[in-house]
């Protein structure tokens, strides 16, 4: 009896001393990962700067968003004040003015800027000459590579009431000159037109890629059924790019309250500031000009939360209407 117990004990001790090895499936997974890294490391290296940019400028600052709930002190630590900064922010009439300006400008851009790249992509796709398409593409893509400093200078020169080309043409037609850059009724349209000129061509690339991915057999079948070019666009091309349109619309809704700081701050002057002053310029002034870091953070956090809500809502609406969304 003791011999059996000793044998059992010794076998248990032997099993306890046996080293554990990973499952064969885990070995294969690790090997595939390592092989993938060895094979595609140049692409990962090219991705690294972009990933580092997002980590440094988009993920690390998330921790500092707690400043919106604190009273910032020169000598740490900061004092926790809860929602006091938001109460101060929402009690300011200036905040509601910049919020209204942001909603109006962003709404105008969604209505008038967002559809233009789709139209440009559809028109470029209908050009049969490869050389002509290349020339037009180069012409419409070029403004994207210009900074808003240059673009604002171009528009200020074009719209000058004294020697601007637009007003000279208007005067030749019998109209009075208009100072578009200081006129509160036109400055928002200047923002819309300049945004179209800068981004329509470049943004059409995504829609062109989606059009090229459509099965050519669908066009052949439509042609056999007697469809003309317009009918092929309406019944084949547009339905084929609906997922891309839905995805980009949802992403644009996430940036709805941004309204492009670089554009506005270069187009802004003392006369039109009350009309195109947006949340981003308001945050810029609070944070850098007056040193109200907590209030600036609270305003930025408010914008981020509203953007997240708009993404979720637009995603659910898109899923219900088109069956497509971000996820």
The pLDDT of residue 25 is: 61
Q: Which helix (H) or strand (E) holds 71?
A: strand 70-71
Do 110 and 222 reside in the same domain of the chain? yes
Range from 26-30, 251-255, 285-289 carrying the lowest mean pLDDT = 26-30
- 46 and 161 fall within a common domain: no
Q: Which residue has the higher pLDDT, 40 or 326?
A: 40
17 inside domain: no
**pLDDT band at residue 315 using 50, 70 and 90 as cut-offs:** confident
Instruction: Kindly list the distances between the CA atom of residue 38 and the CA atoms of 43, 46, 51, 58, 65, in Å, as whole numbers in the listed order.
Output: 10, 14, 19, 29, 38
- Same domain for 129 and 267? yes
Residues 32 and 132 in one domain: no
Domain boundary among 10, 36, 57: 57
Residue 96, pLDDT > 60, answer yes
| Threshold 0.85, pTM exceeds | no
Do 72 and 294 meet the contact criterion of CB atoms below 8 Å apart? yes
Angstrom CA distances, 131 to 89, 159, 250, 295, 312, stand at 55, 33, 34, 54, 42
Is the confidence at residue 322, as pLDDT, over 80? Answer: no
Residues 113 and 155 in one domain: yes
Averaged pLDDT, 284-288: 88
Number of domains in the chain: 2
Q: How confident is the model at residue 305 (pLDDT cuts 50, 70, 90)?
A: very high
- Residue 204 CA, distance from chain mean position: 14
Mean of pLDDT over the chain? 87
Are 100 and 246 in the same domain? yes
Task: For residue 8, name the pLDDT band (cuts at 50, 70, 90).
Answer: very low
Instruction: Label residue 12 by pLDDT band (50, 70, 90).
Output: very low
Task: Look at the alpha carbons of 254, 258, 259, 260 in this order and tell me if their dihedral is positive or negative.
Answer: negative
Mean pLDDT of 37-50: 90
Is 102 found in the same domain as 36?
Answer: no
Residues 174 and 221 in one domain: yes
Q: Which domain holds residue 32?
A: 25-57
At residue 21, the pLDDT reads 52
pLDDT above 60: residue 208: yes
Indicate the pLDDT class of residue 291, thresholds 50, 70 and 90: confident
Do 259 and 130 share a structural domain? yes
Is pLDDT above 70 for 7? no
Domain boundary among 57, 78, 97: 57
- Which residue is listed with tokens 């942001």? 102
Please state, in angstroms and rounded to a whole number, the distance separating the CA atoms of residues 313 and 291: 35
The runs of H, that is alpha helices, within the chain are: 2-17, 24-54, 60-63, 84-90, 93-112, 115-125, 130-141, 148-158, 165-172, 187-212, 216-224, 229-232, 238-254, 261-267, 273-276, 279-284, 293-322
Residue 287 has pLDDT above 70, yes or no: yes
d(CA 235, CA 274): 45
In a domain, 112, yes or no: yes
The mean pLDDT value for 161-169 works out to 91
Same domain, 178 and 283: yes
Range scoring the smallest mean pLDDT among 18-27, 171-180, 189-198, 230-239: 18-27
In a domain, 7, yes or no: no
CATH number, domain at 308?
1.10.3720.10
- Is 318 within a domain? yes
For residues 30 and 161, membership in a common domain is answered with: no
User: How many Cβ atoms are within 10 Å of 84's Cβ, its own excluded?
Assistant: 15
Which residues lie closer than 8 Å to 167 by C-beta, 6 or more apart? 159, 160, 161, 177, 178
Say if residue 173 is in the same domain as residue 267: yes
């Amino acid at each position: 009896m003791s011999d059996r117990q000793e044998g059992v004990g010794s076998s248990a001790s032997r099993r306890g001393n046996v080293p554990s090895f990973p499952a064969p499936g885990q070995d294969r997974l690790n090997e595939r990962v390592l092989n993938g890294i060895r094979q595609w490391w140049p692409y990962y290296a090219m991705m690294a700067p972009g990933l580092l940019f997002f980590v440094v400028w988009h993920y690390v600052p998330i921790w500092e968003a707690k400043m919106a709930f604190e009273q910032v002190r020169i000598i740490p630590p900061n004092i926790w004040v809860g929602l006091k900064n938001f109460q101060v922010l929402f009690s300011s009439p200036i905040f509601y003015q910049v919020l209204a300006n942001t909603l109006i400008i962003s709404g105008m851009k969604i209505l008038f800027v967002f559809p233009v790249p789709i139209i440009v992509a559809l028109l470029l796709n209908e050009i049969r000459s490869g050389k002509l398409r290349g020339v037009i593409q180069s012409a419409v893509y070029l403004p994207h590579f210009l900074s808003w400093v240059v673009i604002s200078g171009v528009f200020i020169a074009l719209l000058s009431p004294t020697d601007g080309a637009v007003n000279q043409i208007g005067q030749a037609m019998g109209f009075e000159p208009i100072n578009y850059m200081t006129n509160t009724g036109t400055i928002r349209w200047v923002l819309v037109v300049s945004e179209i000129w800068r981004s329509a061509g470049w943004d059409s690339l995504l829609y062109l890629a989606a059009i090229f991915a459509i099965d050519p057999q669908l066009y052949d079948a439509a042609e056999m059924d007697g469809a003309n070019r317009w009918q092929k666009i309406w019944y084949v091309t547009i339905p084929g790019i609906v997922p891309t349109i839905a995805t980009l619309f949802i992403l644009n809704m996430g940036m709805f309250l941004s309204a492009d700081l670089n554009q506005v701050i270069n187009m802004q002057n003392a006369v039109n500031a009350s009309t195109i002053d947006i949340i981003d310029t308001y945050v810029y002034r609070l944070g850098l000009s007056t040193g109200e870091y907590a209030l600036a953070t609270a305003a930025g956090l408010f914008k981020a939360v509203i953007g997240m809500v708009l993404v979720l809502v637009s995603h659910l609406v898109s899923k219900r209407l088109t069956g497509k969304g971000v996820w």
